A and B are shown apart, each in its own frame.
Chain A
Amino acid sequence: MSVVPAEVLPGSALAVEEPVREAAELGPRARLWPALAAVYRAQLSRARVARIPLLFVATFQSVGIMILMRGVVDGGGEAQAVVAGSAVLVVAFVALNLLAQYFGQLRASGGLDHYATLPVPPAAVVLGAAGAYASFTVPGTVVTAVFGCVLFGLPIAHLWVLIAVIPLAGAALAGLGAACGLLAPRPELATLLGQLGMSAALLLGVLPADRMPEAVRFLRDLLPSTYGVDAFARTFGPHPDWALVLGDLAVCGVVGVVSLAVATWAYRRAAVR
Chain B
Amino acid sequence: MCAVRGLTKTYPAVRGRRGTPATPEVRATDDVRLDIRGGEIFGLLGPNGAGKTTLVRQLTGLMRPDRGSVEILGHDIVRHPERASRILAYLGQESTALDELTVSLAAETTGRLRGLEAARARAERDAVLEELGLTALAGRPLKKLSGGQRRLACFAAALVGERPLLVLDEPTTAMDPVARRAVWSAVDRRRAERGTTVLLVTHNVIEAETVLDRVAVLDRGRVIACDTPAGLKEQVAGDVRVDLVWREAAPLNVPEVAALRDRVVESGRRWTLRLAPEEARAVVATVTGGAAFAALDDFTLTTPSLEDVYLALGGAARQGLVKG
Contacts and interface: CB of A to CB of B under 8 A. Distances in A.
A119 B86 contact: yes
A247 to B, nearest CB: 38
A112 interface: yes
A273 B39 contact: no
Interface residues of B, number: 69
Contact of B191 (A4, A26, A38, A106): A4
A272 B213 contact: no
B234 interface: no
B113 A30 contact: yes
Interface stretch (A9-17, A67-75, A77-85, A172-180): A9-17
B118 A23 contact: no
B94 interface: yes
Contact of A27 (B74, B114, B143): B114
A21 interface: yes
Interface string B112-139: 1111111000000000000000000000
Scoring A16, A30, A112 by chain B CB atoms within 10 A of each residue's CB, the highest score goes to A30
B87 A26 contact: yes
- The A interface, classified by DSSP as helix, strand, loop or mixed, is loop
A30 B101 CA distance: 20
Contact of B184 (A2, A23, A111): A2
Interface string A32-60: 00110011011001100110000000000
Given A113-B90, A273-B62, A23 B74 contact: yes
A6 B187 CA distance: 13
Contact of A113 (B38, B87, B94, B115): B94
A21 B74 contact: yes
B96 A110 contact: yes
B94 A1 contact: no
Interface stretch (B75-83, B283-291, B307-315): B75-83
Contacts of A1: 181, 184-185, 188, 210-211
A253 to B, nearest CB: 28
Nearest to B85: A119
A114 B97 contact: yes
